[in-house]
Amino acid sequence: MVMIDMLNQQAENFIDRSGIDALAVCIGNIHGKYPPSGPKLRLDLLEDLHSLASKKGVFLVLHGASGVPEDLVKGCIERGVRKFNVNTELRKAYMDCLSEPKKDLVQVMASAKEKMKAVVAEKMKLFGSAGKA
């Protein structure tokens, strides 16, 4: 509990001194691919950070959300995360497309764009942002 209190103090200090609108938190999330065992997110820490952030009018961001299972994403949303970064999944969709035979660069680019759009559409549904723009 002492460690969480110290982290909350650091976060509060940072929010107050910087005047930020959003706080990217590290709760066990990583950039890139997770090991086969999957992510081990600290939802208890996220809950405390959300309590602090909401009092300060700051929203939470989760970098390294590619590969986070649906149940954990929903747990993060319940605990105040409002922005997820999933660049690894978008890059993977693009790179996977390059291994499919195409006639020319225009077809490669069009196909890659469609594959990436499919990932974005899937994530928008998962994150609860589909149809809200």
pLDDT in tens, 114-127: 999 999 999 999 99
CA angle 127, 128, 132 (to 5 degrees): 125
* Phi, psi for 130 (deg, rounded to 5): -65, 135
- pLDDT tens column, 6-32: 888 899 999 999 999 999 999 999 988
SS3 (DSSP) at 26: coil
Dihedral angle sign, alpha carbons of residues 15, 21, 26, 31: negative
pTM: 0.85
Is the CB of residue 79 less than 8 Å from the CB of residue 47? yes
In the chain, where are the structural domains located?
1-85, 87-133
E strand residue ranges, the chain? 22-25, 59-62, 81-84
Domain 1-85 in CATH 3.20.20? The answer is yes
Is the CB of residue 84 less than 8 Å from the CB of residue 127? yes
